[in-house]
Copies of this chain bind each other. A is one copy, B any other.
Amino acid sequence: MSQFEPQNPDFAAVVRASFAKQGLRQALGIALIEVAPGRATLEAVADPRLTQQQGFFHGALIGAMLDCAGGYAAYSLMPPGSDVLTTEYKINFVAAAKGERLIARGRVIRPGSRLTIATAEGFCRRDGAEHLCAVLLQTLIQVPLAAEAPL
């Protein structure tokens, strides 16, 4: 039920393969739960490795997951042979990130052949409900596979 048409019929496999190559994902126990055209969802389960000084989910983890969620949402719409890099993002933390589970939902606002604008929301699963904890707004750049430069 997406408003976007993928250019790569294998977009889901391509996104999952890219995610699997990320060393940081393993260090932090982040899982890619769902990929759809222009959308991606990641999750992490509460763990002492993921905390800040008060024991809540660390803002850095939240930033990382929302960045990835928006980035893979963007990547899902890119043509075969391309890679995605984050150019920049901005994140607002809107509530204490307490809960058993952190969920990051990315969504493309506007795809482009050079730049894609995406957004992502972070939710904490707590007491059987999801609570918004962060919002991200982001620019992604489409580059040839293995290209390095974000500019």
Contact = CB atoms under 8 A, between A and B. Distances in A.
Interface of A: 18-19, 21-24, 26-28, 47-54, 56, 58-61, 63-65, 67-68, 83, 85-96, 98, 109-110, 112-117, 119, 132, 135, 137, 139, 141, 146, 148-151
A60 B91 CA distance: 12
Q: How many copies does the complex hold?
A: 4
A47 B23 CA distance: 9
Q: Count chain B CB atoms within 10 A of each CB in A83, A92, A95 and give the residue with the most.
A: A92
Contacts of A54: 83, 146, 148
Contact of A95 (B94, B146, B151): B151
B151 A24 contact: no
A24 B58 contact: yes
Q: Count chain B CB atoms within 10 A of each CB in A19, A56, A60, A64 and give the residue with the most.
A: A60
A146 B53 CA distance: 9
